[in-house]
Chains A and B, each alone.
Chain A
Amino acid sequence: MTTTPMTAIETEDRRQYRATRRRDFAVDLSMALATVLAALAIGFLVMLATGNDPIRAYEVMLTGPLERSFRVGRWLEDATTLTLLGLSVAIPFRARQISLGAESQVYAGALAAATVAIFVPLSPVVAVIVPMAAAAAAGAGMGLVPGAMKARLGANEIVATLMLNAIVVRVYDYLVNGPLKESGSSAVHSKSIQQDSALTPLSDWFGVPLGRANIGFGVMLLTAVALWLLITRTPLGYRIRMTGANPDFAAYGGIRVPRVIEWSFVIGGAVAGLAGAHLVQGVYGRLEPGLAGSLAFEGIVVALLARNNPLVVVVAGLFYSYLRAGGDIMEQQTDVGTEIVVVIQAVIVLLVTAQALPSLLKRRIARRQVGVR
């Protein structure tokens, strides 16, 4: 990396910098854990207050997903989509852009992937990759619209992304019910994708039934690592972080802030597009109405919980989809509705917003380390 040997001071600086980073990471992770525990405790009280048995409910919820291998598969499948959507909003969030556009991007991605995977004949391997690329491109395009509106015109990105969501979801609904609907079928869905375009199920590799979980999980892990490298190790990542930390200062330092903002939306959109490809090529094998459910919005929770650190997003995504899977099992086996999971999730968000807490903690630790009282 460096060609000239570092001076002793530089080495020391670097060591200290790394130590700070490690400490911040540890604090982020433990804050996330504490947040979750507090939210679970509040959920406990809510169940108690409404006359349900919280101990039994939590027992089922927390052990259920691991009891059978196909339940594990259900969890991993959900985690793949959710984590990709979490990653997709984490990038614009890093540039301090509140993008709520994952919904439009995931549906656009699903449409693009399905169109290619159903209608374009391709040789093996390529047949998997091209639809995914199409989905990423479509998602990126959906990110570009609000991104450019914000960066070039200063239009409010929250309103822009929400309006785009409303439009794309309706167009998707129209296409699935109309032009793309499989003729001769009574249920509403598109034709199935070609066999070659399907993402290989994980069951084929592990020899146990894992439901619809597929190698999209690996794609998700790779995406997370790639985004982490992008944010921490590349000039663009630096510009995104600078823009997020202080846009005025970034502009003063010669960073073209509008362009960086646009890129953050485009990259986020591409990742959300991949989530759409995963749903089409890995989970459903075709287009279905309401494909992504509420996942797009829940991705925001995951990103927030992970403080927009791509690697922590994976942990948060796995954890949160575990709660979702457990919530479904809890609803089947006890009287407690799965809505309690949404309440727990809401409490997590509200606790995470209490910005004053973690920065206070970080400052206190740092102060103790340098020996200032």
Chain B
Amino acid sequence: MSSVLDVVLSSAFLAAALRIATPYLLAAFGGLVAERAGISNIALEGQMLSAACTGALVAGYSGSVALGTVSGVAMATLLGVLLAALRLELGADAIIAGIGLNLLASGGTAYAVYSLLDDKGGTSGLKSGSLPTVTLPGVEKVPVIGDVLSGQNMITWLAFLAAPFVAWLFYRTRFGLHLRAVGEMPDAAASVGIAVRRVQYTGLALSGALAGLAGVFLSMGYVSFFVRDMTAGRGFIALAAVFLGGLRPWGVFLAALGFGAAEALAVQLGTLDVPPQLVSTIPYAMTLVALALYAWRRKRRGRAVPAAASL
């Protein structure tokens, strides 16, 4: 057991936890914004995947990492708007439309990579580069904290800034107020003159953009290439974090960070004498239990379920 403790307290573990939590944080905030706007965004997975693929391809062909990042985020934003359009214009069920978009992303990215590069696996043949890391001049020298904080990717910093940003957006801006009102009760919101559709379109676009940043981090931060289906269910985990966090910015922040830490732990424990597959079930089992507890507590309190959360 002491070896587990050693692992958890090491600066390498803490640094890895922050890195692994990055895509969960960004995608979870994306899910949160959409959920609060009253449209469940189950397409987070597909948005991340499309952004990762577009980012790597554009960066590879243009030679500009910045251009790749912008195109990746733009692609995911577009998918967010598309989801909103399917829901609002065609009366589609947001969940099912989301499943469709995930499929489209999975097939579309694989087809695009195969058509362009003649490679089934991914874009590793293409030199696409990666986003810069941030070194903190003063902090770098500090023993543990320096190792943990300095040298993280710039998107990791963005992910951590996203929490106060979303909290500010929700509770300190007019748009946030409108967004929450629309998600809670669209008819009431419309009756006081809020442009419900416009708020929902904007919310879903923002949701897609956040998921897009998460995706770009996967193909241009984690590693510097795109691999087929590289999101590997992260979008769904992020969605779990949205509900686990009780649809509140800081709750979602803690839940997503917890998933990152749990996964980092599973990776580290893989070196010990424990079956890695079983260790890696821990975060999911924790979520399942937490989901049940959360629902039970909510039910016992008898508090009304937010309209968006009941799906």
Contacts and interface: CB of A to CB of B under 8 A. Distances in A.
Interface of A: 46, 50-52, 98, 149, 153-156, 158-160, 162-164, 166-167, 170-171, 173-174, 177-178, 297, 300-301, 304, 337, 339-343, 345-347, 349-350, 352-357
B227 to A, nearest CB: 14
Given A153-B295, A167-B288, A343 B311 contact: no
A170 B295 contact: no
Contacts of A353: 86, 90, 92-93, 96-97, 100
Nearest to B277: A174
A246 to B, nearest CB: 15
B108 A343 contact: yes
A163 B288 contact: yes
Contacts of B95: 98, 158
25 contacts: A51-B115, A98-B95, A153-B295, A154-B299, A155-B291, A158-B311, A159-B239, A159-B291, A163-B240, A163-B285, A166-B236, A170-B280, A171-B277, A171-B278, A301-B103, A337-B114, A340-B107, A340-B111, A342-B110, A346-B104, A347-B104, A349-B97, A349-B99, A353-B92, A353-B96
A346 B240 CA distance: 23
Contact of A342 (B96, B106, B237): B106
Main secondary structure, interface of A, reads: helix
Contacts of B97: 349-350, 353
Contact of A159 (B115, B243, B296): B243
A160 B310 CA distance: 13
Contact of A171 (B40, B93, B111, B281): B281
B284 A166 contact: yes
Nearest to B310: A154
Interface string B175-210: 000000000000000000000000000000000000
Nearest to B103: A346
Contacts of A339: 107-108, 110-111, 114
Contacts of A46: 111
B243 A156 contact: yes
A355 B90 contact: yes
Chain B: number of interface residues, binned into ranges: 35 or more
Contacts of A356: 90-91
Contacts of B311: 98, 156, 158
Contacts of A300: 99
Given A171-B277, A346-B100, A353-B96, A155 B294 contact: yes
A173 B93 CA distance: 33
Contacts of A162: 233, 236, 239-240
Interface in B274-297: 275, 277-278, 280-281, 284-285, 287-288, 291-292, 294-296
Nearest to B278: A174
Contacts of B288: 160, 163-164, 167
B42 interface: yes
Interface string B291-309: 1101110110000010001
Nearest to B42: A158
